[in-house]
Amino acid sequence: MPNSLVHLIQTDQLHKDLINILAEKADELRELNESRDGRLQLKSMLSDKRAILFFEQPSTRTFFSFANACHILGMSVTDCRDNTASSQAKGESIEDTIHTFANYVDLCVIRHSQNEAINKALHVVEAFDLSTRLVNAGNGDRDHPTQALLDVYTLIRHYKGDLKGKTVTVVGDLARGRAAKAFIKILMQYEPEVSLQLVSTSAYRLDPKFRREFVPESTSCHETSDFESALQSADVLYMTRMQNEWGGDSQAAFQLMNRHLATMKKDASILHPLPRREEILPDVDHDERALYWEQEKNGLWIRCALLLKIFGVEIN
């Protein structure tokens, strides 16, 4: 598998060797950031590059962590977040919008509600032999590769790279959650080391077609709606919110509360791609197993590592 990366379009591109390279790079970058000299060195790394962040859907952490990753590495950044302010509002196609961005910048980070948007972008870049790099910052209800990357980076840091024997329990709206799906996909790089538990109500279970495509039959994968029992065996608990921007229920069926913590393993870890609503109550935040704020911070550094990898820049 190649360790170079031109565009990051889908989670399947992130194989184990590449993940490890990016995780090591991210650790080095955050260490450099500890000193003023290091920060100046970081700032010079991509100072000849320009980026546009094209976010057609709302975002807090993906948008601002990419914006700040670009700033840390010295890139110039512009953004397009208001759907009424670009010529998309006049009926311009995604292909033409991306073609236009590609004429101005070296990198285009794209979040879009349409599952096909990122592939349309790739198609136009390849068809016109454009040098602009593309990164998928979340497409439709299917994929979110940089989220998957930061999630697994969090586990690598927390467990010092050893995920052997871990039961990873993914909870919530598995039908529409792109973060949950991307996380499940990237975990398959660690198969058969990890086992999966999928916790959802029957209305929001993982699409069996997705499971057939991305979860090998040999994987230990248990589906249940018994949240309280699943908590007890979880080494990693990955909570997600209801994705009611696609319609349907907004109220979470499962809610992690302080009273549950005593039933969980002492060395378990609790992750959430965020934003959260009521599925993790704020009083859980102070438990040492709650890693989601750290997970969010890890997103900044793994995205810095990703940008360097995409532009083929090494840390000297």
Interaction site with ligand CP (CB under 6 A)? 59-63, 138, 147, 179, 273-275
Token pair in block for residue 217: 């039959």
Between residues 138 and 264, which has the closer beta carbon with respect to ligand CP? 138
Q: How far is the CB of 198 from ligand CP (least distance, A)?
A: 19
Between residues 66 and 102, which has the closer beta carbon with respect to ligand CP? 66
Residue 244 half-sphere exposure, CB side, CA atoms within 13 Å? 10
188 CB-near residues (< 8 Å, 6+ apart) = 214, 215, 216, 219
Residue 220 half-sphere exposure, CB side, CA atoms within 13 Å? 11
Between residues 45 and 152, which has the closer beta carbon with respect to ligand CP? 152
Q: How far is the CB of 111 from ligand CP (least distance, A)?
A: 7
Q: How far is the CB of 301 from ligand CP (least distance, A)?
A: 16
List C-alpha distances in Å: 187 to 19, 85, 86, 209, 243: 11, 38, 37, 17, 21
Between residues 59 and 100, which has the closer beta carbon with respect to ligand CP? 59
139 strand-pairing partners: 112, 143
Q: How far is the CB of 138 from ligand CP (least distance, A)?
A: 6
Between residues 179 and 280, which has the closer beta carbon with respect to ligand CP? 179
Q: How far is the CB of 99 from ligand CP (least distance, A)?
A: 25
Between residues 65 and 169, which has the closer beta carbon with respect to ligand CP? 65
Alpha-carbon distance of 310 to 136, in angstroms, equals 13
Residue with nearest beta carbon to ligand CP: 62
Q: How far is the CB of 201 from ligand CP (least distance, A)?
A: 22
Q: How far is the CB of 57 from ligand CP (least distance, A)?
A: 8
Between residues 30 and 111, which has the closer beta carbon with respect to ligand CP? 111
Q: How far is the CB of 136 from ligand CP (least distance, A)?
A: 11
